[in-house]
Structure 1
Amino acid sequence: MISKIAKASLGLVFLGSSSVFAQSLADAKKAIDAEQYQKAESMLKTLTTTQPTKDENFFYLGWVYIKQDYADSAKVVFNKGIAANPKSALNYAGLGAVARLDKDNSGVTTNFNQAVALAGKDAKPYTYVGLSYLLPTTADKKVTPADADAAIAVLTKGKAINAKDVDLLIALGDAYRSVLKSNEAYSNYSDASTLDPKNPAAKVATGVLYKFANNFDGSEQQFKDALAINANYGPAYREWAETDLRWSLTDPKMASAKIKEAVDHYKQYLSLTDQSVESQMRYADFLILAGDYKTLQQVATDLSKSASTNARVYRYLAYAAYENKDYQNGLTAINTWFQKADPKRIIPRDYLYQGRLQIALNQDSVGIITLQKALTLDSTQTDVYAEIAKSYFRQKKYAQAGDAYREVTLKGGHSVKLTDYFYEGISYYYGYDTKAPNDSLLTRADSAFSYVIAKTASSPFADAFLYRARVNDLKEKDRNNISGYAKPYYEKYIEVVNAKGAPDEKTKKSLAEAYAYLGTIYQYKEKDDAKASENFAKARELDPANKSAAAYFQRKGGAGKGK
């Protein structure tokens, strides 16, 4: 029989042992919050070995994998957690998160419902179901309104169970922030800070909220407050870096200084994490946002040398190589990414860069197909139509180029430029075949040039009048009984060009074309030989090789020379 003293001693041993394990889990959770994922992973792997019956250890290890974009590994670990405890609400929440990333809607519903059903009076499963809805699953990494609403609904239910769960309050604030409900977001962040004044995450979340309101000074102060609580809290520096980047884009005068500051803050963030491959990957994502492709190529090249690296490094290599005009290495890298990546990890932008690289290497036909694939997956990337149009134009497939530019002008919104309309018109003009006439091309060309002319009335765009004249000349069906559709546009072209002063050599030929056309109209339609001779003389003076002028004076037997 064990004595009372022995029982007491044994109890102390067990209590002490339990305390050590609990503290270890708490430390692992702190490492996750600080985005020290490699450290957290190592601690949690130890815990799942030493405490194989505690399902919570498995959940947090799986959550580390989720944060590192290893959904398949996370799924394995969550299932082990459920094997350890079939009523583990947290691990069902984890399986729901994996299902979301895998776009398995049925699995999302089943697992989240099970998590909530098993949660009882524990708000923590509600927190992670809510956070799972906030995981980015789109190419732009934005939370959809439907997902945000689902997160708000489940987190509100969790708040009713425990209104003092700081992690839940921050998650609820994040959900509100994602749908631009700033007051509600601030209220939850403020409640979290009041309940736990020493929580740096609540300060950082408030700073992010201010960032999106372009209150950059207020945002910086929140990050400083977070670092005053914990000088080694890496996420504060990461969010500070991303705030600097937004600041640089919002205020051009601050751009240079803020981009430099952003890079410095991100390096500080890296120094406070475990310098894992995943941290470097996040740095690579930041460099894409910052447009620093030279540094990105260096970082990605270094990462590719690691045996344990994530295949996603080939995406970064491809993007950087394209932007740095290293096209062949870029195409090799993007093709390797497509070979190695789980198809669920391919995003529309991957096809965009693959298509760009193919076109840059003169593989236009396959490149256009790839760009069209990118558009099929993400129709918001309207700039891609312009890239397709340029490729078609370069191949002299003018009608297709016109159609692509038409897509730009119809769907491009605020990013559409007048030059897009102009090239739409030029493409349709060159795409018109007099041997197999398609008058709809002329109609579209005329409409495009008309739009440019209307929008540049205060500062006339000469070439729009020139090409509109050419288009209208093609509308003449009877060359022996010309109507003069092009006359007002050639006249306006002459007026605009002459108002600008002496023309260059290229413009002289276009002016000669305009004068020769007017000469023809005066000769055959207006029957005014004096004006015909005057205009043909101007055409010949500007361009001695102009065929219409030469033919006119040849018929006249040289009359009018010197005029």
Structure 2
Amino acid sequence: MAVHSNKTATLIVMLGALLLSSGCGNLAGHKNVDRGLSYIESHEYEEAAACFDAAEAAGENQRILYRAKGILDKNLGQYDSAVENFLKSLAATSGIPGDMDFDTNYYLADVYIKQEKYDEAVEVYDAILALRKRDKDAYYMRGMARLYSGDHDGATIDFNKAIALAGRNYDLRIMIYKALSSNGYEDEGKAILESCLNNTDPNMTNYEKGQISYYLGNNADAQSYLELARNERDMDKAPVVLLLGQTGEKQGDFNYAISVYKTFLAEDPDHPDIYNQLGLCQTNVGDYEGAVNSFEAGLALGNNEYSKALLMNEITAYEYAGNFAQAKTLMEKYRKAYPDDKDAEREEIFLSSR
């Protein structure tokens, strides 16, 4: 099965080649594709594949169909096929590329990074930036690809460009700090965060000061700023509480963190990320039953963004409790939902020996 080169793909999509899809498929609707995407969200991959087969038979929009098939392949860990489908989607673009085409390029680059094909990923981001010269996300992601490939200087240039375009986006600076730190450049990452505090922004909130202090390791300062933020009337309390609890965790004070999380959830229980963090704390103090209950409460909220972490952490809690039978049962469920998780594959092998 032939796969286009990435250079060909970028020419097709980013320079807006006047390539029209053959037949009437490009003019058709996409109700089967939409159903298939819903199945992907609920990790029902066989049902999604059946919907995409039906979409193909019905002649639904090829650009949308191939993109959806690529997303399915990506979730299944079938990266070669995902690349091919994303390229087909891009090739079916007619005229000037739109938001969906840029989105597909991001998917394509992400798959290249998963394949450790960093040069190909960089080329995709090059193509995005050729048309969207102020796209801070593309600069950040190109910096990540360059960092992974060992191009530290190129990564630094891209990160600096992203920061320059990001205004008061402290979350982006924190993500860059994490990337540099985890790849052996912690001092450089810290310098980025320190500059946020040194060049004091008069509009910097207590939460933002707490965030920066937390990642710099200044836990006492972080706790002070976050306690102030927690008491502010119009502040979104959930991210404040999450980080405030983690200041306690970093100092080994899990009981403080547990108290912070439980107090908040008693008033506002619709936060799977905080249930997840509470469960991790309970696991750390040996309260495995409490941890399982917390992870289950988080899963019951049905938020797909956090279901993966919650389910894996629940498996770990059952393992620590010595309940390997339940851990195995949940691992089967996890592997069906997240077949591309290679770490879980190794964990499943470990559990099979128990």
TM-score normalised to the size of structure 1?
Answer: 0.36
Residue 214 of structure 1 aligns with an amino acid whose one-letter code is E
Residue 320 (structure 1) aligned to one of 273, 278, 281? 281
The amino acid of 1:187's aligned partner reads I
| Partner in structure 1 of residue 344 of structure 2 | 378
Does the 8 Å contact 2:210/2:221 carry over to 1? no
Structure 1 residues 193 and 301: CA distance shift in structure 2, 3 A: closer
> For the Cα contact (< 8 Å) 1:210–1:219, is it kept in 2?
no
- Distance between the aligned counterparts of 1:381 and 1:197, measured in 2? 39
3-state DSSP class of the match of 2:286? coil
Does the CA-based 8 Å contact 1:318-1:330 persist in structure 2? Answer: yes
- Return closer, same or farther for 1:162/1:311 CA change in 2, 3 Å cut-off: closer
Which among 156, 162, 184 is matched to residue 186 of structure 1? 156
Q: Is the 8 A contact 1:130 1:171 kept in 2?
A: no
Q: Is the 8 A contact 1:133 1:147 kept in 2?
A: no
Distance 1:354 1:184 in 2: 44
Residue pairs, 1:264-303, within 5 angstroms: 264=224, 274-277=235-238, 280=241, 292-303=253-264
Alignment match, 2:317: 353
1:238 maps to 2:211: yes
Give the 3 Å change call, closer, same or farther, for CA 197–168 of structure 1 in structure 2.
closer
Matches within 5 A, 1:161-560: 161-178=131-148, 181-192=151-162, 196=165, 198=167, 200=169, 207-208=177-178, 210-212=180-182, 213-215=185-187, 218-224=191-197, 228=201, 231-232=204-205, 238=211, 240-244=213-217, 258-264=218-224, 274-277=235-238, 280=241, 292-306=253-267, 309-311=270-272, 313-336=274-297, 345=308, 346-357=310-321, 359=322, 366=325, 369=328, 378=344
1:366-412 C-alpha deviation (Å, 9 max, x unpaired): 46757987999636679x97xx9xxxxxxxxxxxxxx98xxxxxxxx
Match of 1:155 in 2: 125
**What are the residue-to-residue correspondences of 1:134-153 with 2, within 5 Å?**
144=114, 146=116, 151-153=121-123
Q: Deviations over 1:103-157 (max 9, x none)?
A: 586788757864686596568666645655788x9xxxxx745486665342121
* Partner deviation per Cα, 1:432-465 (whole Å, 9 max, x = no partner): xxxxxxxxxxxxxxxxxxxxxxxxxxxxxxxxxx
Q: Write the deviation string for residues 502-553 of structure 1: whole angstroms up to 9, x where unpaired.
A: xxxxxxxxxxxxxxxxxxxxxxxxxxxxxxxxxxxxxxxxxxxxxxxxxxxx
Which segments of 5 or more consecutive residues in structure 1 lack a partner in the other structure?
Answer: 1-70, 73-85, 138-142, 245-257, 389-402, 405-563
Q: Aligned-pair distance for 1:169? A: 1.9
Q: Secondary structure at the match of 1:378?
A: helix
**Aligned AA (1:310):** H
Q: Report Cα offsets for 1:281-327 as digits up to 9, x if no partner.
A: 57667876775532332233234334660345443343322323334
AA at the equivalent of 1:228: D
Structure 1 CA distance for aligned equivalents of residues 91 and 243 of structure 2: 32
- AA in 1 matched with 2:194: Q
Partners of 1:96 and 1:299 in 2: CA distance: 43
RMSD between superposed Cα atoms in Å: 5.6
CA distance in 2, matches of 1:281, 1:114: 39
CA distance in structure 2 between the partners assigned to 1:313 and 1:110 by the alignment: 37
Q: 1:243 to 1:163 in 2, by over 3 A?
A: same
Structure 2 residue matching 1:228: 3-state secondary structure: coil
CA distance in 2, matches of 1:117, 1:268: 53
**Number of residue pairs matched by the alignment:** 278
Identity %: 9
Aligned to 1:420: none
